[in-house]
Structure 1
Amino acid sequence: MQMQRLVYGPLKAAAGRGPVGSLAGHPFLIVIDGLDECEDKDEVEDLIDSMLAFFDEHPFIPLRVFITSRVEQHIQSRLDVPGVLLDNLVDHCSANDVTAFLEVLFQDARRRSPVIRAYAREHGEWPTPGEKRKLVEHIGGSFIFASAVFKFIMGSDASNNHPTTPMDRLPLTLKMNPGLDRLYAQVLARSEHIPHFFDIISTIALLEAPLPTSGIAELLGISTYEVVNVLVNLQAIIQVDSSHIRVITSASTFAHSSANFSFVDGGLACPFASVNVRRLSLILADIQSHTRTEEDTFMSNHNGI
């Protein structure tokens, strides 16, 4: 209703009177950032439905809507329609963006910090290209982590016996956990009540190679739809095929490389993967061993033909 009164109505009225000012050449743009953070899913669905209905009724209205969001089922299911352009940022390497982001931050830090300027006069450029490259690799495309890393480097916490200069603190960041455990735990909690949740998540955390949802189902002795039922609400942290949720990859399926670290190395998300981990590890190792044996046998027979 608010969108109708504040946006759709005035635009329709203006367009009905013919091209007016900026409407004649360029559309207006509305940016909705972080739509997934809205807790009321019903309201989000209503917003999207009314938006799509408006554009269906007025396809030539000079308005565009740019939405950013993690992949959530109640959002994706409504936006995956003709007329909506979907772009998965996972498909784009953000290393260059993170590099540019850090470069701007460090340039500003050099301007503000007499300590960094004095160090640079004596030792040369800081951070060095090699140090920046290692930082970008460790950050892994997460701007949240990039910001946290930079704040740690530039902060001072001598009272806790931390090194007191940015130059001393930078190497320590390469050992930092990205600190996204709470995000993983929050998202995983949505589905923990669903049957087979713990076994499915534990399996994903332990995989070393891609495995389709049907393969996970066969491994656990359950139906494919039961696997999909668990994963459908976890797309914010688990990458699945955008059309039919067919394939999930190994531990690298998680949206950030730290996710697998969280599951298997005692992070906050670890309790979600604590059930039957030992048993699943042995099963997966046995399957991989049998697979290699069968491949070797096939090659031996093939070479003998």
Structure 2
Amino acid sequence: MLEDLCKWSSETDSDRTVCWLHGPAGAGKSAIAQSFCAKLAAQKRLAASFFFKRGHPSRGNGKKLFTTVAYQLAFCRPELKTAISRIVEDDLSVIHRALSVQLQKLIIEPCRQTFVGRILVIVIDGLDECEGKEIQREILRSIGTTVRQGPLPLRFFVASRPEPHICEIVPSAFHGIYSAMNINQSFHDVRKYLFDEFARIHREHHETMATIPFPWPAPQIINSLVRKSSGYFVYASTVIKFVDDKDFRPTERLKRIITGSREADEESPFAALDLLYTQILSQIPARRQLLRILTVLTAKLNLLIGQIEQLLGLAPGDVRLTLRGLHSLVRVDESQIRIHHASFYDFLQDQRRAGIFYTDCDSCKTDLSRCILQSLSYQTTSSEADLLVW
């Protein structure tokens, strides 16, 4: 993927000025963006980078994006510093104006007026973590509008989760000027990562691992972890961080993950992953309806979307509307719902981890059982239904 990105960013005759990298939560988008920045910096072609972080006072604020990029350009590019500084000195209010104006005045015009000598790349990661969906749309529209105005020695790399409002605007905002890259799941990479990291842990924890034969752990355990990860590093990296704790024996820490034991007075091995899941789920307003749908999914009844709506007594379209903000965790096809991460099932069915999103509670199971019995009663005679309920 990095090879493809380097090729895209250096093609002088391409009209694909924007590259949108998308994928589910924890798939490795930020890792790709960071590595891409490092390669660009080594080639002296990194114009600027901005990594959004939800809830952060500055990195979560979309209004700071283009002024920060302009500052980095002026600071790192002597040939652009004079042009950008002159614009700000002539009109200080530009830093408080609309995002499209900031982009045009502080970045696009200086780059067009100054001979840069090479194609520079602006890296924007985690756009979906910017506060407010409308400002996310505004950022995309601003980039799309300005880059269409003529040749530009700039490329824009944008990484985000495939949230519905972003998926809807990207094709129109970037029509004809962008390439899309989807992070593919890679079981092979996760397996190699786990193998290398466990080898490192075995080597570095020499006191507690001295009597443990290598290779460690057994191949079947690594296979199990790879299968649980669904090809995503978010799970594998969390496992490694937990096992690598210098205050514990790696063998005992790994055993806790494999056996699933959860002592109440100890830290959960999936704290980072749980926080990610909880953060995403908490954004859904119809929480009660969401919980009922998740209960059906974790029950693994393999129902079509229409059947789930019929089972739960929902109106047609309600399931899609409820799951609208969860595209980073689940994939909603034409008729089915598929969960991206196998570990998401474990999260939803563990009360300590899921908290208010726990789907294996008595109330959730009772509600689902009632819906199933009610649905069956519609398909049987009255006497059969009475016998079934009894």
Match of 1:8 among 108, 114, 119: 108
More strand by share: 2
| Deviation of the 1:128 alpha carbon | 4.6
Change beyond 3 A, Cα 1:156–1:46: same
Q: Which amino acid aligns with 1:165?
A: R
Question: What TM-score do the two structures reach when normalised by structure 2?
Answer: 0.56
Q: How many percent identity over aligned positions?
A: 29
1:174 is matched with: 258
| Deviation of the 1:230 alpha carbon | 1.3
Change beyond 3 A, Cα 1:136–1:201: closer
Match of 2:368 among 262, 266, 280: 280
| Deviation of the 1:33 alpha carbon | 1.9
2:37 is matched with: none
- In 2, Cα distance between the equivalents of 1:234 and 1:77? 15
Residues 112, 153 of structure 2: 8 Å contact kept: no
1:86 is matched with: 180
Residues 178, 258 of structure 1: 8 Å contact kept: no
Residues 229, 341 of structure 2: 8 Å contact kept: no
| Deviation of the 1:126 alpha carbon | 3.1
Match of 2:315 among 204, 223, 229: 223
| Deviation of the 1:50 alpha carbon | 0.5
Residues 228, 342 of structure 2: 8 Å contact kept: no
Change beyond 3 A, Cα 1:134–1:173: same
Change beyond 3 A, Cα 1:196–1:128: closer
1:260 is matched with: 345
Residues 181, 268 of structure 1: 8 Å contact kept: yes
RMSD of Structure 2 on Structure 1 (CA): 3.5
- In 2, Cα distance between the equivalents of 1:153 and 1:232? 35
Change beyond 3 A, Cα 1:188–1:128: closer
Match of 2:236 among 140, 146, 150: 146
Gaps of 5+ in 2: 1-98, 261-268, 380-390
Question: What TM-score do the two structures reach when normalised by structure 1?
Answer: 0.70
Q: Which amino acid aligns with 2:255?
A: P
1:74 aligns with 2:165: yes
The SS at the match of 2:179 is coil
The SS at the match of 2:332 is coil
- In 2, Cα distance between the equivalents of 1:9 and 1:166? 56
1:160 is matched with: none
1:234 is matched with: 326
State the number of aligned residues: 264
The SS at the match of 2:155 is strand
Matched ranges for 1:11-30 at <5 A = 11-14=111-114, 21-23=117-119, 28-30=120-122
| Deviation of the 1:49 alpha carbon | 0.8
The SS at the match of 1:233 is coil
Q: C-alpha deviations, 1:220-251, integer Å up to 9, x for none?
A: 3332233322111222222223xxxx3332xx
Q: Which amino acid aligns with 2:336?
A: I
